[in-house]
Amino acid sequence: MANEAVKFVWEGAIPLQIHLHKSEVASHPAPPPALVLAPRIGYLPLLVSLIKPYFKDSLPPGEDSIWFDYKGFPLKWYIPTGVLFDLLCAEPERPWNLTIHFRGYPSNILIPCEGEDSVKWNFVNSLKEAAYIINGNCKNVMNMSQSDQEDLWTSVMNGDLDAYTRLSPKLKMGTIEDEFSRKTSLSSPQSRQGGAEMDVAGQVKTARIPVRLYVRSINQDFENLEDTPEIDTWDEISYLNRPVEFLREEGKCFTLRDAVESLLPEYIGDRAQTSEEEGEKRTKDGSEEKDGSPMTGEIKLVRIQGIEMKLETPFSWVVNNLMNPEFYLHISVLVRTPQR
């Protein structure tokens, strides 16, 4: 049985208000926007079967090449819908207003998408990458029967957590365990098959956690999330596909802060701070420039599965509860960089 946090992740959805781009409206009057509830763990192309019938009588003749944009910003179809929302809406917008296009695919910005087939290929490829990071090989994914692989994908498309929970153990990805998880859960006595293993000396080896980190850095000063500048190009977002080396140490809790700083040592540094900690930290260590601005990047927001995370949250809890079905942990980070 999945725990409550995992259930919330699978049941999470974003209300979308989908507009047909005005250049593609071939009817009068123009159709009103379509309202769709999009699963967080899903992908935008999987919504097309719901949206296209709604707009079909308003489309001009021609061959479909479907894509979405947010305020004119083309959306990458292979990023989960919930991650796109967390990344692009620092202040959550509900419903999220997106525009759908059936013509003029921006192939200079987006890689081609052949609908569900492309999304499925992306999912399976991510599974293989995650397995390689965790286990050192992807044979468990490769050896999965075609029917099991199809059923696993169907469970993700349909948001069927029970079916996914029955099938995913065959991948032998396991879960991580540390002091926090051992104290708060007694439900999994052999919980890590592919992670932190004991070496011959009885010491714990490093577990490798697949992480996709999306970092948006802004050098403008702003106090509130609603004042965050709009994104103009994907060049403003740094995409890092790196594993986190999770080392369990007796008596020490490896936190989300430890994970983020291990991924961005050259960017954040040891003095990384969140907005709420800024005043206290400057007073304690004096780590500021003469003009009062921080010497290192200031973490304005860390968001996972729609949750604004505290950096002191045990990383084991984050991984075991907030990971996506392809066994990647997607982390959206908003950083204010120093103004020079």
Same domain, 331 and 241: yes
Residue 180 lies in a domain: no
Query: Are 143 and 61 found together in one domain?
Result: no
Residues 145 and 95 in one domain: no
Percent of the chain with pLDDT over 90: 66
What amino acid is encoded at 177 in this protein?
Answer: E
Same domain, 105 and 149: no
CB 100 within 8 A of CB 24: no
Domain boundary among 62, 77, 111: 111
**234 & 166 share domain:** no
* Same-domain check for residues 20 and 66: yes
Domain that holds residue 153: 117-175
Whether residues 103 and 123 share a domain: the answer is: no
Residue 328 CA to residue 53 CA, distance in Å, equals 33
Q: Give mean pLDDT, residues 47-52.
A: 96
Whether 39 shows a pLDDT value over 90: the answer reads yes
pLDDT at res. 266: 61
Distance, in Å, from the CA atom of 287 to the CA atom of 310, rounded to the nearest integer, reads: 21
pLDDT at residue number 206: 52
Tell me what percent of the chain is helix, strand and coil, each rounded to the nearest 5.
Answer: 35, 20, 40
Mean pLDDT of the chain: 84
- Tell me if 211 is assigned to some domain: yes
- Residue ending a domain, choose from 152, 175, 198: 175
| CATH at 20 | 3.10.20.620
Is pLDDT at 75 greater than 80 in this prediction?
yes
Per the CB < 8 A criterion, the answer to whether 287 and 294 are in contact is yes
Displacement of CA 227 from its chain's centroid (Å): 23
Co-location of 39 and 90 in the same domain: yes
220 lies in the same domain as 310: yes
What's the pLDDT score for residue 340? 58
Looking at the chain, list the stretches that DSSP marks H as alpha helix, in order from N- to C-terminal side.
4-11, 48-55, 81-88, 116-135, 139-142, 146-158, 161-167, 179-184, 256-263, 278-285, 315-322
Rg (the chain; Cα; Å)? 22
Domain count, the chain: 3
This prediction has a pTM of 0.85
Same domain assignment for residues 19 and 83: yes
Q: With a cut of 90, say whether residue 166 has pLDDT above it.
A: yes
Q: Which of 85-89, 167-171, 189-193, 324-328 comes out lowest in average pLDDT? A: 189-193
* Domain identity same for 95 and 68: yes
pLDDT in the model for residue 178? 52
| Residue 31 included in any domain | yes
Higher pLDDT, 194 or 112: 112
- Better-scored residue on pLDDT, 195 or 102: 102
Average pLDDT of 118-138?
96
Residue 282 inside a domain? The answer is no
Where a domain ends, among 64, 95, 111?
A: 111
Residue 223 in any domain: the answer is yes
Q: What is the domain-level CATH number for residue 123? A: 1.10.246.190
Same domain, 132 and 166: yes
